[in-house]
């Protein structure tokens, strides 16, 4: 009876997808097969849908474009969180990061997964797949989190003959490594900046440098796909291409605007997924997990939060949700709900500035220095200056259909009050019923834990280093002072960035140290010093 039930279910899915394909609004056509497919999941770090197949100006990504041409490109794909460890924790399990207690980025006290949840690679291993992580980074905020504990090996070539494989690989250089591309440099006149960016040569060059790095990654993706072809695996391999979260720019990564949570997503499965599709449904990274388990014929012990991309459920989805909590030791908390037309962001800590201190961003974002200077000088326009305010509104509402850059907050507009309240209610229901949201504790808020003002003569990063024995920054987070530096101190940082950002495509320039040197910075300096010695 159970076998007949499964067969009936499979036939119903086949018939449904066949019908949907005939009427031309299908995503895919799926049929049962004797053998389960191989699965290759390609991830790029810190990157939005800034690819030529998505219409981004200046960039040329022919290999990813070809992958999209051979499968389906999802126009409106989103991650559950705007930073790597939390979004990856969700993708490793198929559940929202808050639900599994993995929502605090770089969590120090990792614990085991709750409710009997198992990771996707463990479920596939139990089902007979060979699981491989072909890069080093797992970045999970739970136990187990090490590569050797999550995957069986490091390459699909290590599997037994005839064994299907599940392989994941991350190309990480878009994570602000940002090498220039001598083969195809991008002129600053050819790029398009969002309106919340100041438009000058320095800002354009930084943006173009990021696009050039993606061109280099595109070639790495192309080489991997060529390997599939050469080994005769392409026809029976389901390939996913995705970003772990949005772009590493201000108002991108770490925030719930589309720049932080909208991602590229492409699926290719020869003979199963119709080529050349552009899908307009609201999809999310967790849908990949549900799709993988479906094609592998695996039933998860706890129902996943995503839906299979091979079914009809996503065509009926009206909303996607996302959350942001601790980022390193920067304490903040935000929740968002997005439809095709509107997004509501609930800032749970509106008393804090968007640009409160975060060491990663200050050490990595040249434009953060540039725009802090311009803001302190009063030279930004209203749209550009908004992100550098000392506090946030509690609610932000955007009509993303007409305002895709999310710069016109409608939360206080009486005409949109009904929409705002409806979205807020749905967001609160999701927080309560789906992710069991714990909100913000008094300890996390850390009111009164630090001096009220930043000392005028010292930037935040130095004060924090000098007081690391006095305060438990792991528990309290870093002070929420803003601005984090004086005008002169930001100008000094900007001067350090200049030769690096403005370097020629074939020129080697070391990335400057803007905060304190990290261990790898010290090692690099030591190696360089040793190499120059006679």
Name the phi and psi angles at 525, rounded to 5. Answer: -65, -40
* Cα–Cα distance measured from residue 481 to residue 183, given in angstroms and rounded to the nearest whole number: 43
Of 254, 462, 504, 211, the residue nearest 368 (C-alpha):
254
Of 354, 359, 332, 356, the residue nearest 493 (C-alpha):
359
CATH fold for the domain made of 38-317: Alkaline Phosphatase, subunit A (3.40.720)
* Cα–Cα distance measured from residue 288 to residue 240, given in angstroms and rounded to the nearest whole number: 8
Do the Cβ atoms of 104 and 66 come closer than 8 Å? no
Q: Give the DSSP letter string of 248-287.
A: SSTTSTTSSSHHHHEE-EEEE-TTTS-TTEEEEEEEETHH
Tokens of 191: 């790029």
Tokens of 37: 């497919």
Name the phi and psi angles at 284, rounded to 5. Answer: -140, 165
Radius of gyration of the chain (CA): 23
* Cα–Cα distance measured from residue 34 to residue 32, given in angstroms and rounded to the nearest whole number: 7
Q: How many CB atoms lie within 10 A of CB 500?
A: 16
Distances (CA, A) of 269 to 15, 17, 36, 241: 19, 15, 12, 12
Q: How do strand 130-133 and strand 165-171 relate by DSSP bridges? A: parallel
pLDDT at 518: 76
Q: How do strand 334-338 and strand 165-171 relate by DSSP bridges? A: unpaired
SS3 295: helix
Q: Give the DSSP letter string of 469-495.
A: TTS-HHHH-S---SSSS-HHHHHHHHH
Do the Cβ atoms of 477 and 329 come closer than 8 Å? yes
pTM: predicted TM-score of the whole model, two decimal places: 0.91
Tokens of 367: 């434009």
Q: Give the DSSP letter string of 45-89.
A: SS--S-SGGGT-SS---HHHHHHHHTSEEEEEEE-SSSSHHHHHH
Q: What is the pLDDT of residues 355-402, one digit of tens each?
A: 999 999 999 999 999 999 999 999 999 999 999 999 999 999 999 999
One pLDDT digit (tens) per residue for the chain, 534 residues: 333 333 344 334 434 443 333 333 333 433 333 589 999 999 999 999 999 999 999 999 999 999 999 999 999 999 999 999 999 999 999 999 999 999 999 888 899 999 999 999 999 999 999 999 999 999 999 999 999 999 999 999 999 999 999 999 999 999 999 999 999 999 999 999 999 999 999 999 999 999 999 999 999 999 999 999 999 999 999 999 999 999 999 999 999 999 999 999 999 999 999 999 999 999 999 999 999 999 999 999 999 999 999 999 999 999 999 999 999 999 999 999 999 999 999 999 999 999 999 999 999 999 999 999 999 999 999 999 999 999 999 999 999 999 999 999 999 999 999 999 999 999 999 999 999 999 999 999 999 999 999 988 899 999 999 999 999 999 999 999 999 999 999 999 999 999 999 999 999 999 999 999 877 776 666 666 667 676
Long-range contacts formed by 456-459: CB under 8 A, 24+ apart: 456/486, 459/484, 459/485, 459/486, 459/489
Name the phi and psi angles at 21, rounded to 5. Answer: -65, -40
Distances (CA, A) of 67 to 226, 302, 384: 11, 32, 36
Kindly list the domain boundaries of the chain, sorted by start residue.
1-32, 38-317
Tokens of 137: 């980074």
* Cα–Cα distance measured from residue 361 to residue 364, given in angstroms and rounded to the nearest whole number: 5
DSSP helix, strand, coil percent of the chain (3-state; round to 5): 35, 15, 50
Q: Give the DSSP letter string of 438-450.
A: ----HHHHTTTSS
Residues comprising the chain, all counted: 534
Distances (CA, A) of 252 to 44, 353, 492: 15, 15, 24
What are the strands, taking DSSP E only, across 143-264? 165-171, 237-243, 262-263
Name the phi and psi angles at 75, rounded to 5. Answer: -70, -35
Do the Cβ atoms of 326 and 477 come closer than 8 Å? yes
Name the phi and psi angles at 165, rounded to 5. Answer: -120, 150
SS3 199: coil
* Cα–Cα distance measured from residue 369 to residue 438, given in angstroms and rounded to the nearest whole number: 34
Torsion of CA 461, 102, 351, 379, to 10 degrees: 60
Please measure the distance between the N-terminal and C-terminal CA atoms of the chain and give it in whole angstroms.
80
Q: How many CB atoms lie within 10 A of CB 522?
A: 12
């Amino acid at each position: 009876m159970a076998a007949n039930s499964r067969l009936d279910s499979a036939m119903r899915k086949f018939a449904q997808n066949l019908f949907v394909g005939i009427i031309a609004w299908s995503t895919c056509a799926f049929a049962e097969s004797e053998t389960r497919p191989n699965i290759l999941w390609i991830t790029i770090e810190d990157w939005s849908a800034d690819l030529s197949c998505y219409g981004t100006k200046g960039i040329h990504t022919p290999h990813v474009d070809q992958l999209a041409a051979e499968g389906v490109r999802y126009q409106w794909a989103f991650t559950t969180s705007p930073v790597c460890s939390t979004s990856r924790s969700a993708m490793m399990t198929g559940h929202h990061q808050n639900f599994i207690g993995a929502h605090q980025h770089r969590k120090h006290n990792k614990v085991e997964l709750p409710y009997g949840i198992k990771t996707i690679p463990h479920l596939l291993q139990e089902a007979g797949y060979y699981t491989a992580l072909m890069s080093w980074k797992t970045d999970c905020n739970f136990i187990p989190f090490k590569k050797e504990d999550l995957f069986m090996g490091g390459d699909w070539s290590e599997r037994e003959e005839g064994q299907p494989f599940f392989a994941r690989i991350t190309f990480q250089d878009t994570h602000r490594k940002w090498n220039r591309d001598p083969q195809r440099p991008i002129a600053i006149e050819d790029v398009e900046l969002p309106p919340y960016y100041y438009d000058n040569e320095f800002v354009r060059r930084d943006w173009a440098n990021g696009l050039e790095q993606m061109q280099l990654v595109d070639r790495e993706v192309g080489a991997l796909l060529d390997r599939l072809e050469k080994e005769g695996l392409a026809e029976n391999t389901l390939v996913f291409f995705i970003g772990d979260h949005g772009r590493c720019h201000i108002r991108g990564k770490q925030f719930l605007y589309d720049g932080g949570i909208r991602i590229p997503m492409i699926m290719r499965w020869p003979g199963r997924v119709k080529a050349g599709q552009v899908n307009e449904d609201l999809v999310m990274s967790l849908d990949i997990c549900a799709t993988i388990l479906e094609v592998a014929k695996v039933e998860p012990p706890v129902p996943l939060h995503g839906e299979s991309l091979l079914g009809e459920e996503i065509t009926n989805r009206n909303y996607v949700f996302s959350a942001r909590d601790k980022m390193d030791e920067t304490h903040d908390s935000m929740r968002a709900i997005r439809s095709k037309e509107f997004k509501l962001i609930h800032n749970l800590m509106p008393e804090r500035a968007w640009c409160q201190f975060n060491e990663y961003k200050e050490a990595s974002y040249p434009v953060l220095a540039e725009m802090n200077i311009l803001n302190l000088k009063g030279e930004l326009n209203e749209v550009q200056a908004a992100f550098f305010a000392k506090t946030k509104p509690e609610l932000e509402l955007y009509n993303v259909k007409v305002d895709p850059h999310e710069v016109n907050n409608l939360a206080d507009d009486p005409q949109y009050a009904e929409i705002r309240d409806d979205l807020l209610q749905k967001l609160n229901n999701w927080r309560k019923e789906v992710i069991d949201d714990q909100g913000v504790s008094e300890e996390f808020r850390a009111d009164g834990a630090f001096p009220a003002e930043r000392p005028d003569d010292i930037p935040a990063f130095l004060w924090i280093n000098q007081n690391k024995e006095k305060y438990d920054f792991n528990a309290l987070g870093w002070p929420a002072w803003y601005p984090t530096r004086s005008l002169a101190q930001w100008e000094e940082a900007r001067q350090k960035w200049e030769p690096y950002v403005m370097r020629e495509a074939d020129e080697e320039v070391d990335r400057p140290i803007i905060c304190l040197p990290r261990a790898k910075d010290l090692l690099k300096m030591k190696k360089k010093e040793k190499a120059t010695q006679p």
